[in-house]
Amino acid sequence: MYLSKCIRFCLQQTARTVSKESPLWKRYSTAAVQPKIDTSFVGALKTIVGDANVSTADAIREQHGHDESHHAVAMPDVVVFAESVDHVSKVSKLCNDTKVPLIPFGSGTGLEGGVNALQGGVCLDVTKMDQIVQVNAEDFDCTVQPGVMRLGLNNYLRDTGLWFPIDPGADASVCGMCATSASGTNAVKYGTMRENVLNLQVVLPDGRVIDTAGRGRRTKKTSAGYNLTNLFLGSEGTLGTITEATVRLYGIPEKTISAVCHFNEVSEAVDTVVQILQCGIPMAKLEFLDDSAIDCFNRFCKYDMTVAHSLFLEFHGPAYGLEDQFQSVKELIEMNNGFGLKQASDADERNRLWKARHEMVWACTARIPGSKPYSTDVCVPITNLPEIITKTKQMVVEADVIGPMVGHVGDGNFHIFFPCDHSDTETFKKIKDISHKMAVMAMELNGTCTGEHGIGIGKRDLLVAEVGEETLGAMKQIKETFDPNNIMNPGKVFF
Ligand SMILES: Cc1cc2c(cc1C)N(C[C@H](O)[C@H](O)[C@H](O)COP(=O)(O)OP(=O)(O)OC[C@H]1O[C@@H](n3cnc4c(N)ncnc43)[C@H](O)[C@@H]1O)c1[nH]c(=O)[nH]c(=O)c1N2
Ligand SMILES: CCCCCCC(=O)C(=O)O
Ligand SMILES: [Mn+2]
């Protein structure tokens, strides 16, 4: 009850901070100085990176003014394509000296408006820095530049017998995945980015270049000083630009089993998840799709799966023992009245299933032609998962909106993929109301308003409620220490 009162108090307080006279607004809001983008500034950029790497063309600015979220496009004044750490350092220093906003751009697949240039300024596109610097196969790690995408990394690794398993549904940049503390379907076994980054090279706003664990360090564990690596993980471009990431790699599993099963009740599916995890069965993937999501799945991905609440499961490991794990899960599914348990017959069927799962948001969006996706992203301790999923499903049904539920329930994290026609203001209001209530419910159940997509623009009010004023104040102190001129991605994470 106490938690609930704190959360609601903070939300009320934050509602007041939007009107700028309240003390909370002054304490947390650090609006950047309006950019001084003139021909001499653009000329200075061209001197640093070369004429071809600076663009003020509308099409390029528009392309860099949004990500895959529902947030409105906010174009930068200029787009700079960095080709080296030196470029990043000198551009950062120029922006810092002239107090011009600087927004790092990975591959634009973010879901919270993270790259949108709310106050104009310079978009720093790092895709040209696309080298895989080093692969240390015997140590299970590699170092990549910020333009390396996760699928490109895994293609490069194919002959080594290793892979990088963190798998957001998009082909994102590895450094962008660091910046948003990304996750995906494999997190239940391999963890999220927070558990898989050994070192980061970061260019600070004033141009200084640091290595968060020390240059060349790549141990699985360290107790040397503050954990700056995890400080920059999830920083969403607000503390510095990541110009190298050293990440953990894993052996490609000898054997993989994928399977699907169905339930008549949401509670039966989610109870099965909790029991699987409490039995310590080392699942690789454990995804939930409700009946509405399966309906979208069938329509868009050309499947004819039973339209019922479903679990998509995957097991990774040595050939021996994997079938035993599957049989243990089979018993738990049957104990919870699950039915239709079916293994994928071969790698093609397995890959087709998971490709469809990764494209679920588009399947759900296609339910209303011309709509845009609006995704939620709450995460709770798994024992609280049955309550929040059941209550959320009830909210969606009562609101009479299309709200397919999909997610990484093995991590306690799930989404609703609302097809959102912004011109339908009544439905859009219902969607935002459900999203807000879900986030408050998650926080009241000891969870978080964002398991993997970040705060960006749309969840800044929720962050205050989630962490509380004192903790947010400490975060602001860190921000002001690294970025006293507030040039790094202003308006994100904090008001
Ligand atoms: C269809 C689909 C499906 C999914 C997802 C997206 C889409 C379109 N995502 C979200 C997205 O893929 C994820 O947030 C990525 O980490 C974003 O990486 P980008 O390189 O696209 O960052 P993008 O360029 O979008 O930037 C995201 C944020 O990071 C910052 N940033 C980017 N590169 C940086 C750098 N080098 N240094 C500092 N800051 C930097 C930006 O400033 C911005 O604030 C997701 N996510 C997830 O966690 N799990 C999932 O399952 C999915 N699924
Ligand atoms: C474009 C919206 C993407 C929604 C989120 C996708 C995601 O996280 C997933 O698990 O799928
Ligand atoms: Mn997800």
Taking only the tens place, the pLDDT of each residue in 169-189 is 999 999 999 999 999 999 999
The rounded Å distance from CA 190 to ligand 3 centre is 15
pLDDT for the residue 215: 98
- Ligand closest to 360 (CA) is 2
Tokens representing 266 are: 């949401």
Q: Is the pLDDT of residue 21 over 60?
A: no
Query: DSSP assignment of 422-484, as one string?
Result: TT-HHHHHHHHHHHHHHHHHHHHTT-BS-SSS--TTTTHHHHHHHH-HHHHHHHHHHHHHH-T
Nearest-atom number in ligand 1 for the CA of 232 is 38
Percent of the chain with pLDDT over 70: 93
Contacts (Cβ under 8 Å, ≥6 apart) of 3: 443, 444, 446
Pick the range with the lowest mean pLDDT from 29-33, 79-83, 435-439, 490-494. Answer: 29-33
Mean pLDDT over residues 97-115, rounded?
97
Protein fold of 33-127: 3.30.43
DSSP state of 403: -
Protein fold of 255-444: Vanillyl-alcohol Oxidase; Chain A, domain 3 (3.40.462)
Name the band, by pLDDT with cuts 50, 70 and 90, for residue 13: low
ipTM score = 0.99
- Give residue-wise pLDDT tens across range 354-387: 999 999 999 999 999 989 889 999 999 999 999 9
Q: Ligand 2: does its nearest atom lie under 6 Å from the Cβ of 293? A: no
pLDDT for the residue 20: 43
Residue nearest to atom 34 of ligand 1 (CA): 176
pLDDT for the residue 495: 86
Task: Determine the CATH number of domain 132-251.
Answer: 3.30.465.10
Q: Yes or no: say if 48 and 66 are a contact pair by the CB < 8 Å rule.
A: no
Sign of the dihedral defined by the CA atoms of residues 152, 155, 161, 167, in that order = positive
SS3 226: coil
Tokens representing 17 are: 């901070």
Identify the residues whose C-beta falls under 6 Å from ligand 1.
67-68, 103-111, 114-115, 126, 146, 168-170, 172-173, 175-177, 179-180, 182-184, 236-237, 241-242, 361, 452-453, 489, 492
Domain boundary assignment for the chain: 33-127, 132-251, 255-444
Name the band, by pLDDT with cuts 50, 70 and 90, for residue 16: low
pLDDT for the residue 7: 72
The rounded Å distance from CA 479 to ligand 2 centre is 28
Name the band, by pLDDT with cuts 50, 70 and 90, for residue 420: confident
Q: Is the pLDDT of residue 302 over 90?
A: no
Mean pLDDT over residues 38-59, rounded?
97
- Give residue-wise pLDDT tens across range 303-333: 899 999 999 999 999 988 999 999 999 999 9
What's the burial of 238, exposed, middle or buried (CB within 10 Å: 0-12/13-18/19+)? buried
Q: Give me the chain's average pLDDT, please.
A: 93
Tokens representing 167 are: 């798998």
The rounded Å distance from CA 345 to ligand 3 centre is 26
Q: Is the pLDDT of residue 2 over 70?
A: no
Q: Is the pLDDT of residue 225 over 80?
A: yes
Which residue type occupies 303? Answer: Y
Contacts (Cβ under 8 Å, ≥6 apart) of 262: 305, 306, 308, 309, 310, 338, 339, 340
The rounded Å distance from CA 408 to ligand 3 centre is 6
Mean pLDDT over residues 85-111, rounded?
98
Q: Yes or no: say if 205 and 95 are a contact pair by the CB < 8 Å rule.
A: yes
pTM of the predicted protein model: 0.94
SS3 89: helix
